[in-house]
Amino acid sequence: MSDLYNSIRITSVAPTITEFADAGHSEGADNINPVIASLIKEKLGDKKPDRFVMYNPDAVGLWLYQRYTPMFTDAIIDSDIALPMLSVMPSVTPVCFASMYTGVMPDVHGIKRYKKPVLKTETVFDRFIANGKKCAIVSTEGDSISKIFLEREMDYFIYDTPEEVNEKALSLLDEDKYDLIVIYNGNYDGFMHKFGPESKEAMEQLKMNLDFYKTLGEQINEKWKNHDVFYGFCPDHGCHEIDGDCGSHGLDMEDDMNIIHFYTVKPAE
């Protein structure tokens, strides 16, 4: 692995969530993320979060954060940590989110190319469900998160547009019945592929993702005052420019593999 690659892989996300939700540890999963573990203990002491919200914007590479840092100002200020993370190969959406929410590498969970089968490997969702916890996925129709985690005893809210997804996600905070909410936005990825990663069109979509994350955090703080909440901004992979000013990803290269996550732990009031 390149010395320029980030050291903590996205496979650490699943075991970290399940460990701190008292939902057990999937066999063969990665180790928990030591930075997140330290953050949770620092903020909550002996307690653990009772609510988890994972916001998954697609294709936000670390280089975007480094090159356009002012755009990320609210995410930086409103989060406890900005954490460089490492994706998996091939760095394409279904492979990456399968690894993020199973805690294992593609050779283990079985999605090793751009295909969207229903995962049979144990996921975060299965661990939560087995421990009596309620989960919800809010995603756009046809995208990886709307397909590879199907066939589980949980709720799926699938819409045509990211605006509808985000509106529904905020309404679920009002309902306050889910222990884990996963929200997917693929708009930056879609515009990046068509117009290029740094195009005006794509950057407007990235700003939309960052604006929503700020709103999400504000609503969590307002609506879930009585909960200890763990929430994050967690992309799957990065991206790079290709011939014709378009964008792509999937390669074993820094732009595609190095990504940025933000995490916050909000103690109950």
How far is the C-alpha of 184 from the C-alpha of 214, rounded, in Å? Answer: 15
In a domain, 208, yes or no: yes
In a domain, 262, yes or no: yes
Number of domains present in the structure of the chain: 1
What's the confidence (pLDDT) of residue 176?
97
Q: Is the peptide bond before 90 cis (omega within 30 degrees of 0)?
A: yes
In a domain, 50, yes or no: yes
- Residue range 109-127: average pLDDT? 97
What's the confidence (pLDDT) of residue 168?
98
| Sign of the torsion angle spanned by Cα atoms 242, 247, 252, 255 | positive
**pTM, entire model:** 0.97
In a domain, 261, yes or no: yes
How far is the C-alpha of 114 from the C-alpha of 39, rounded, in Å? Answer: 34
**Domain carrying residue 171:** 10-266
Encode pLDDT of 219-228 as tens digits: 999 999 999 9
Domain at 194, CATH number: 3.40.720.10
In a domain, 32, yes or no: yes
Encode pLDDT of 145-171 as tens digits: 999 999 999 999 999 999 999 999 999
The residues pairing with 156 across neighbouring beta strands, listed in sequence order, are 137
The residue with tokens 């009772």 is 50
- The 3-class secondary structure across 16-75, one letter per residue, is HHHHHCCCCCCCCCCCCCHHHHHHHHHHHCCCCCCEEEEEEECCCEHHHHHHCHHHHHHH
How far is the C-alpha of 180 from the C-alpha of 49, rounded, in Å? Answer: 11
In a domain, 1, yes or no: no
